[in-house]
């Protein structure tokens, strides 16, 4: 189903928001959904936005790239769709900018809060010091010095009264800054979490893998990466529908999230794929955890809640790679992915270790 077949008159407005609010809005939406179904693209909000832009923008860079991928026989997977959205949709890029700005603002608020608390302590210490000096001189016959100090003491009492009001205001401001920082932190957590499974999303996973590998290089620690895939998920999804498919994803994610909890990093890698980073843990430890996940997932017979129909058992395949000294994250991911492919090729429902012979990318 070609995009141009329905839009040869080229009357579609350039502004997508205007298009959806025009008489052609339903036509745009229907055509986008038809194309998504024809190319087996999940009807998520992000994917729908992507394909509406593809349909409506005509000769745009996004349309050209999707046309190229389709002509090459590429499947528009969820991870590929997210990459396209991040590159070509302004809102997706804006969300990333907002996230980074929020992180920077959160750090700045923390610095301001610390400065306010320091000012409070300094004010209190100053008042206490002058009061103590006045008491010491009050018991002595210091003559003119005593008179000067009494004047300073009176002035200090006045300043202390004003400071009490200021400190109260500063305390309120500090509390408000704390609440604002917590809100920003929550926004960042939400932006780094996969909405369906509540696991870490792909963006956060990529960041954490880089950070963990950098720390491993500095401290000489091991890092093991595992990639897990639900076996025959597409067939299951086609047979039972996306809603049941989403329930399966959440079930598998719950097992992976529990066994991959902090300090490990469990993430939804894309579609039906998941990943776990094992900081400072060997391949042997990762193997044991992955086997526990595989066994637990397959041990439960799933049923459809509404009809109590037997859905059968779900199995997963896994591959893992223990990081070589100085190895790049890209090479590590490729080796773990190759190990996963080996598990699939060997019959699925198994865990395979990567061969440690891949070239090390130290750059």
Catalytic status, residue 162 = no
Contact by Cβ (8 Å): 340, 328:
no
What Å distances lie between residue 210 and 60, 267, 358, CA to CA? 33, 14, 19
Residue 99 main-chain phi, psi, to 5 deg: -60, -45
Write down the catalytic residue from 57, 272, 322, 327.
272
**Which residues are annotated as catalytic?**
272
């Amino acid at each position: 189903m070609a995009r141009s077949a329905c839009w040869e008159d080229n009357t579609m407005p350039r502004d997508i928001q205007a298009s959806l609010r025009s008489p052609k809005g339903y036509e745009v939406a229907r055509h986008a959904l038809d194309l998504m179904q024809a190319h087996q693209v999940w009807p998520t909000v992000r994917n729908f936005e992507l394909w509406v832009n593809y349909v409506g923008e005509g000769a745009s860079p996004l349309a050209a790239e999707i046309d190229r991928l389709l002509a090459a026989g590429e499947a528009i997977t969820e991870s590929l769709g997210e990459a396209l959205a991040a590159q070509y949709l302004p809102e997706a890029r804006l969300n990333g900018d907002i996230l980074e700005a929020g992180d920077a603002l959160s750090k700045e608020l923390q610095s301001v809060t610390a400065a306010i608390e320091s000012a409070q302590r300094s004010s209190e210490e100053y008042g206490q010091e002058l009061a103590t000096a006045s008491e010491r001189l009050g018991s002595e016959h210091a003559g003119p010095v005593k008179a000067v100090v009494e004047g300073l003491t009176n002035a200090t009492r006045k300043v202390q009264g004003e400071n009490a009001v200021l400190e109260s205001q500063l305390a309120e401001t500090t509390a408000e800054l704390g609440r604002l920082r917590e809100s920003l932190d929550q926004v960042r957590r939400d932006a780094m979490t996969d909405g369906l499974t509540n696991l870490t999303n792909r963006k956060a996973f990529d960041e954490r893998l880089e950070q963990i590998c950098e720390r491993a290089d500095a401290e000489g620690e091991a890092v093991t990466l595992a990639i897990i895939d639900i076996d025959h998920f597409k067939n299951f999804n086609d047979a039972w529908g996306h809603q049941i498919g989403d329930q399966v994803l959440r079930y598998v994610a719950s097992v992976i999230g529990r066994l991959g909890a902090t300090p490990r990093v469990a993430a939804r890698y894309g579609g039906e794929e998941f990943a776990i980073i094992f900081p400072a843990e060997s391949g042997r430890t990762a193997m044991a955890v992955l086997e526990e996940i595989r066994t637990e997932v397959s041990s439960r017979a799933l049923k459809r809640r509404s009809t109590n129909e037997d859905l059968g058992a779900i199995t997963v395949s896994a591959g893992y790679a223990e990081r070589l000294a100085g190895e790049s994250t890209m090479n590590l991911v490729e080796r773990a992915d190759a190990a996963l492919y080996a598990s699939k090729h060997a019959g699925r429902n198994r865990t395979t270790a990567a061969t440690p012979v891949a070239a090390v990318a130290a750059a």
